[in-house]
């Protein structure tokens, strides 16, 4: 029997022309994976999605990854448009903005470093003539501040229609820079496509800890090294590119008498090697002094690894203290040592391993896209009205 009653339509599934502009393959790291995953998920909803990425995304002295693009994708790649876009060439900014304006109802700019702000601001101002422009702001507070950062960020945010951030603290920071609407949505999982090989919950402790990711001053590796001196018999591996002087870390390791317990691999680790690496440790340690939003907790939990982290950024929301990890105070050697020591209390590590669950991607991504669509002014029945101004 037929019915004249129409099924309700999902307002987020009504086709829209979307251009994403930001880091994507062949660039490496979490933010290119975010751009890639967002493109796939929008396309799966029926939207016409174009991705434009940087041909030159920043100065090598500030962005070492610029020198080492990926040869092999870390996830299924969403195709990118092969047109020049350089952080230092205004001619490419103007062209990208004009093309985005002609091809898009919504333009999403993925921002994470201040030296890209002038290019993205120029693109935003051109695109806003016919499209709504939303900035995904991955770092509202630069990790290492340089003169002019706030001015550049303010310029970009005021050039767009709205901003999406990943923590409440970032939204508060933006309120001091712009009056544009800003919404908070938790950073959804966007992980490399690698298999899982978690350790059994009842496996004996290895007394080995892992620091993984870029080595930068705000990440507190020095605090972790000092805490390690209070944990006899525990080893630490530091795996990641150095964005600071490696010699300084080596000198601190020697000064603290940790040369036989600290093992450093100062390179970017290809995604296919992550499962085997994570399987060899008791916990991932994130001793950050400050943070915005990170997916390292999701990465560790995906591979069955508990996390010891500080109460900064999104760590208190992603680590369940005493369930799948442990939390401690930032910049506090004694409190970090306390948390690490408790990891090896009888039965504690087994209980934390048992509490780890792989991240649940779907609810997080549904909420993220809903927040993005709301900022873009989409109601599901029509494309967004352009702002008609350049701010």
Q: Give per-residue pLDDT as tens, 331-358.
A: 999 999 999 999 999 999 999 999 999 9
> How crowded is residue 204: how many other Cβ atoms within 10 Å of its Cβ?
10
Within its chain, how far is the Cα of 151 from the centroid?
Answer: 23
User: What are phi and psi for residue 325, nearest 5 degrees?
Assistant: 175, -175
- φ/ψ of 153, rounded to 5, equals -65, -45
Q: What is the pLDDT of residue 379?
A: 53
Using DSSP's 3-state secondary structure scheme, residue 321 falls into strand
Q: Does residue 324 register a pLDDT over 90?
A: yes
Write down all domains in the chain, each with its CATH number in brackets: 11-190+362-376 (3.40.50.2000), 208-355 (3.40.50.2000)
Which pTM value belongs to this model?
0.90
Q: What number is the average pLDDT over the span 28-35?
A: 95
Instruction: Tell me how far the alpha carbon of residue 329 is from its chain's centroid.
Output: 22
Confidence of residue 386 (pLDDT cuts 50, 70, 90): low
pLDDT tens, residue by residue, 165-217: 999 999 998 988 899 999 999 999 999 988 888 877 778 999 999 999 999 99
The residues that bridge with 184 in the sheet, in sequence order, are 165
Decide if pLDDT at 64 tops 60. yes
Nearest-10 crossing angle of helices 30-44, 361-376: 80
Does residue 381 register a pLDDT over 50? no
Distance from C-alpha of 94 to C-alpha of 84, rounded to nearest angstrom? 11
Task: Provide the pLDDT confidence category of residue 10 given band limits of 50, 70 and 90.
Answer: low
- Report the pLDDT averaged over residues 245-257: 97
Does the pLDDT of residue 9 top 80, yes or no? no
Per-residue DSSP letters for 111-134? Answer: E--GGGHHHHHHHHHHHTTTSEEE
* Strand extents, DSSP E, 94-233: 106-111, 132-137, 162-165, 182-184, 208-212
Res 149 pLDDT > 90: no
Q: Which of 19, 16, 75 is nearest to 45 (CA)?
A: 16
* 337 conformational bin, left if phi > 0, alpha if psi -120 to 50, beta if neither: alpha
The CA distance from 116 to 58, in Å, is 7
């Amino acid at each position: 029997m037929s019915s004249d009653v129409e099924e309700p339509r999902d307002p987020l599934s009504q086709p829209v022309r979307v251009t994403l502009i930001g880091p994507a393959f062949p660039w490496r790291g979490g933010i290119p994976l975010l751009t890639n995953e967002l493109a796939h998920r929008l396309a799966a909803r029926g939207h016409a999605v174009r991705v434009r990425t940087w041909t030159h995304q920043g100065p090598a002295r500030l962005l070492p990854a610029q020198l080492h693009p990926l040869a092999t994708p870390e996830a299924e790649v969403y195709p990118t448009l092969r047109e020049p876009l350089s952080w230092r060439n205004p001619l490419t900014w103007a062209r990208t903005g004009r093309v985005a304006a002609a091809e898009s109802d919504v333009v999403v700019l993925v921002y994470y470093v201040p030296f890209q702000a002038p290019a993205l601001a120029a693109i935003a101002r051109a695109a806003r003539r016919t499209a709504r422009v939303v900035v995904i702001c991955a770092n509202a507070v630069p990790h290492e501040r340089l003169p002019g950062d706030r001015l550049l960020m303010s310029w970009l945010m005021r050039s767009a229609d709205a901003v999406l951030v990943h923590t409440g603290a970032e939204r508060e920071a933006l309120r001091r820079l712009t009056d544009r609407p800003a919404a908070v949505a938790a950073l959804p999982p966007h992980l490399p496509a690698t298999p899982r090989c978690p350790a059994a919950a009842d496996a004996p402790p290895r007394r080995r800890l892992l620091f993984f990711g870029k080595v930068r001053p705000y990440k507190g590796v020095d605090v972790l090294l000092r805490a390690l001196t209070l944990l006899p018999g525990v080893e630490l591996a530091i795996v990641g590119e150095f964005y600071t002087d490696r010699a300084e870390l080596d000198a601190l390791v020697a000064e603290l008498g940790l040369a036989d317990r600290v093992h450093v691999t100062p390179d970017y680790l290809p995604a296919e090697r992550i499962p085997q690496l994570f399987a060899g440790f008791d916990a991932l340690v994130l001793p950050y002094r400050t943070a915005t939003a990170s997916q390292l907790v999701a990465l560790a939990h995906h591979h069955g690894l508990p996390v010891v982290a500080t109460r900064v950024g999104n760590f208190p929301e992603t680590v369940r203290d005493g369930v799948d990890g442990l939390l401690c105070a930032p910049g506090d050697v004694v409190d970090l040592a306390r948390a690490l020591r408790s990891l090896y209390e009888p039965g504690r590590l087994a209980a934390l391993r048992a509490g780890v669950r792989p991240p649940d991607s779907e609810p997080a991504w549904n909420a993220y896209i809903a927040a993005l669509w709301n900022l873009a002014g989409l109601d599901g029945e029509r494309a967004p009205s352009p702002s008609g101004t350049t701010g």
